[in-house]
Amino acid sequence: MDGWNGRLAPTLAEFEALAEAARATLPEAFRAPAATVVLRVEDFAPEDLLDEMEIEDAFELTGLYEGIPMTEKSVVDPGGPDVIWLFRRPILDEWAARGDVPLDELIAHVFIHELAHHFGWSDDDIATIDRWWE
């Protein structure tokens, strides 16, 4: 169910709550490790990040994982938290362009995709959890 039809776009805080709801639906085995990843929601990626990634249009980046995947971490790696960034305006733009995917499901899709980078998941692993296209 998409609770945003006919309403104003969700605020950053409401957007974050929708992403956290997606995290809460993860299978139990993944919930605790996923809880260690910090979630940040901004309207757009910062200009310096877009420049670093050679992205000219800020609407092209909906999310980003920042960290060292669990499959590559060692005890000597720096101890900063892993972060998933969701960029509200590009996700809203994609949602409006698609017109056939509920907003909460699209947010969950982007979140799960970025979380997959943290876990080192394959596309098959992602497909067992993220069924938004069906």
Q: Are 112 and 106 in contact (CB under 8 A)?
A: no
Average pLDDT over residues 106-133: 80
Q: Check: CATH 3.30.2010 for 25-129?
A: yes
Confidence tier at 120 by pLDDT (50, 70, 90) = confident
Q: pTM of the entire structure?
A: 0.84
- Integer Cα distance of 79 and 96 in angstroms: 38
pLDDT value for 1: 41
Q: What proportion of the chain, given as a percentage, has pLDDT over 90?
A: 51
φ and ψ of 38, to 5 deg: -75, 135
Biggest distance spanned by C-alpha atoms of the chain: 50
Q: For all residues of the chain together, what is the average pLDDT?
A: 86
